[in-house]
Chains A and B, each alone.
Chain A
Amino acid sequence: MKWIDIKAGFWDFWNEFKRVRFGLSGIILLFIFIFVVLINSYIVPFPEASSRWRDITYWEDNPVSAPPVWINWFSSAKRAPSLIIEEHTFSEEKMGKIKLTKAVFEYEYPYDLPPLDVIFHGYAKGSPVIMLSIERPDGHIIELVRRPISKSDGKKVRVSIGKDSRIESYNFGAKYEKPESNRIEREMVKPTSVLFSEAKEGILVYPSPLKGTYKLIAEIILPGENDEVVDIYFTFSGGVSGWLGTDSSKRDIWSGIVAGVKWALLIGLLTAFTAVSIGVIYGVMSAYLGGWKDSLMQRIFELFIGVPLLPVLIVMSAIFKPNIWIMILMMSCFFWVGPVKTVRSMGLQIKEETYIEAAHAFGASSSRIIFKHMIPLLIPYSFASMALYVPSAIVYEASISLLGLGDSTIVTWGQILRDALTGGAVINGLWWWVIPPGLFIALMGMTFAFIGFAMDKILHPKLRTR
């Protein structure tokens, strides 16, 4: 078979494939998935999610178990989303040797429920003093935190208003609160809920939101000549966060899901490709060689058929602790039996064709006949079965990950579901943590099922209609 034949065959196949509507939607979905892998870092807020999924410092500014942002569209009480504000007006004053810088960040607050925390970030050099205050829409200016930094050498500074300004915000609220409500525990008051509420009676107990533009002011005293605080910004950990919310370890689920796409594609395609290639070659060889070789190969094949796949994979993963590549290899070692039976019977038919006889008469070697004359005819079938093996490979990997036996250096959908199961997402009803990963597994499975079934339909036209 020459290249031009393959090309012509491909176009014929494609012309027929185009007419199967769900097959086309499968192809489109597949391209969307590949596209998502390519633009991965542009569509997620945390592009390093794949490599730092288990690094808690990477996720520390996120809220715990926050629902997705679009929850606000359906609920009457709007929650403030997670946000990063970098834009600010900057001014500098010199008093002798000491410098005083002032950065003002504007924060629009049209929500009903305040963010859970507001965090100041920067990189400090020398021994600066950082003072944070907030100017509310009603004109009140509240001094929140005063944080001296000692002899830092460009290290990261992180000041959490939610943790460090409990007293200040309580005192502010207490001025307006009735004396009897004043007895409420200071530890019970959330600073952000006081700061973003109307200054009137009930601010500590039943706060009502004060909407408008807030100014967060970061004043920094720089005592030394070379002292500086650079790259300053505020992060808001909101009541809602990201497109798919966060989990109980503050990780952004959308970033995790997107990072999982490439692993799912890799696991599925590589396993299916390896397994089906082995299976097709094995089946054809068994059919062509015949005799005792065929019998022996069939006995080995039947041995593999008798293996319950998932239990063996589980035990092997539990004992050998494989990484993802070994796991793909392990799955391929058991998946190849799938196409063998069909391929062998097809091979037995092809073997009787006259051109095979002719090739044989010309003195072509067995390997030449198998690879040049028999396998090319089985290529359409192989692709169809390959497409149908992709979902099972993904599901098997996910099942092994669900038991906690997955490769812990990567992030797959199965591992996210494992975390959801052990993190109590099912019991606490954190649906945004449970539904998306499985939905994506199902979606990926559906994509390849569409493609595979469409090919199947073309290959077996008898089943189309009566």
Chain B
Amino acid sequence: MYWKYCIKRIVYGLAIFITLIFIFSALFNTTMESTLRSQIEEEIRGETLKLDTRMTPEEITRYISERREFKRHLYHLDKPIWSRIVWRAINVLSLDFGKATIMRSSSGESDVWTIIAECLPRTVLLFTTAIFINIILGLWLGLKKAQRAGGIMDKTTSIGTMIVYGMPSWWLGMLVIMFFAYTIKIFPSGGLHSVPPPTGFAYYIDLFYHMALPVLTLVLIGFWGSAFLIRNIVLGILQEDYIMAARTRGIPERKVLYGHAMRTAAPPIVTMALLSLLASVGGNIIFEGIFSWPGLGNLYWIAIEQNDIPVLMGNLFITTALYIGGLVILDLIYGFLDPRIKVGGRQ
């Protein structure tokens, strides 16, 4: 019955996404339309310059108003407000975000979707790498902590968790850049690769070299929290009766920990890993701007600096899609790992 659960969950996620898109379209309608209007005026001005010079002023005025009528009709600006909102939401759902006012993609296109599609994989690469390292370190430390709960190591690292709890990742990023890139100068201060980018295998080396600092920062901020959560999850399981039973049977502690406890701990830990990935999208994303890592987070910085509303909105829609997609995948994996969920489903 797993596939039934899958389909249900995916449809449900889609429904949430579509509703949110409608809400966003309604919420930001005024701004987006004023941007659209000024874009139309710009286009018409461009067209008038190309006109036949022998036309009389009346003809030009008539031409302009005709064109304006036409374009307004094209962009549905002459329709009532609810139909404009619906039209915009449908456009967004078919990945048509319009044209950027100032920003261009690296190939020079002004299509918002092209600009965003360029940035998307970089964000995914950076954050998944960081979360991966995070979880491995967190598992190692968390298990250590759970084994000797209340011990000196557990206590000190728990204090560490609380110290970084309210620390902004981008601030740590600023410090890391200041130290590693400008004081001892062993890492680049930002960017995706050197200019000009090397080719072949060296390209990937260069990419990882540039990724080192942002990943280091994310891991430094993140792994305390994952260790603490893994400790709590594992500790809760270690108090279960079947662990006690396994211990009384004389099964070695290592085997109890990895064979029995970890098996039960796997679903919540996977959830936690994905949740922290989502939390990065939801809360850490502008951190990219500090490292000029040209992903979605950096796009927010540039779009705000250049006041490019279409890019900003398109970016928001894509981030939301990514986020909800993540939530759905989370549920699917959780259902896969924990058989109770897919059988029972939601009440």
Contact = CB atoms under 8 A, between A and B. Distances in A.
Interface in A408-464: 417, 420-421, 426-427, 429, 431, 434-435, 437-438, 441-442, 444-446, 448-450, 453, 462-464
A306 interface: yes
Contacts of A266: none
Contacts of B168: 395, 398-399, 402, 438, 441-442
A306 B286 contact: no
A429 B182 contact: yes
Contact of A314 (B27, B281, B286): B286
Contact of B165 (A316, A391, A398): A391
B175 A310 contact: no
B327 A466 contact: no
A417 B171 CA distance: 8
Contacts of B313: 315
B232 interface: yes
A404 interface: yes
Interface in B264-291: 278, 281-286, 289-290
B178 interface: yes
Contact of A462 (B31, B239, B327): B239
Contact of B171 (A391, A441, A464): A441
A389 B166 CA distance: 10
A22 interface: yes
B70 interface: no
Contacts of A427: 182, 189
A75 B341 CA distance: 64
Contact of B281 (A308, A445, A448): A308
Contact of B19 (A303, A435, A466): A303
A454 to B, nearest CB: 10
A311 B166 contact: no
Interface string A301-315: 011011111111011
Interface residues of A, number: 53
With a 10 A CB-CB cut-off, give which of B175, B284, B309 has the most chain A CB atoms.
Answer: B175
Contacts of A420: 174
A309 B236 CA distance: 30
B282 A442 contact: no
A27 to B, nearest CB: 14
A50 to B, nearest CB: 22
A434 B171 CA distance: 8
Contacts of A226: none
A403 B19 contact: no
Interface in B217-234: 232
B304 interface: yes
Contact of A403 (B178, B286, B316): B286
B166 A449 contact: yes
A403 B166 contact: no
A399 B16 contact: no
B162 A453 contact: yes
B166 A391 contact: yes
B170 interface: yes
B319 interface: yes
Interface in A288-345: 302-303, 305-312, 314-316, 318-319
B124 interface: no
Contacts of A91: none
B327 A311 contact: no
Contacts of A465: 149-150
A403 B167 contact: no
A306 B178 contact: no
Given A306-B20, A448-B166, A396 B283 contact: yes
Contacts of A316: 27
A391 B167 CA distance: 8
Contact of A426 (B162, B165, B178): B178
With a 10 A CB-CB cut-off, give which of A22, A310, A437, A450 has the most chain B CB atoms.
Answer: A310
Nearest to A268: B166
B285 A434 contact: no
B92 interface: no
B26 interface: no
Given A302-B16, A463-B235, A310 B285 contact: yes
Interface of A: 22, 302-303, 305-312, 314-316, 318-319, 390-392, 394-396, 398-399, 402-405, 417, 420-421, 426-427, 429, 431, 434-435, 437-438, 441-442, 444-446, 448-450, 453, 462-466
6 contacts: A308-B323, A318-B304, A319-B309, A442-B168, A446-B163, A449-B162
The 6 closest A-B pairs by CB, nearest first: A445-B166, A391-B166, A438-B171, A449-B165, A465-B150, A449-B162
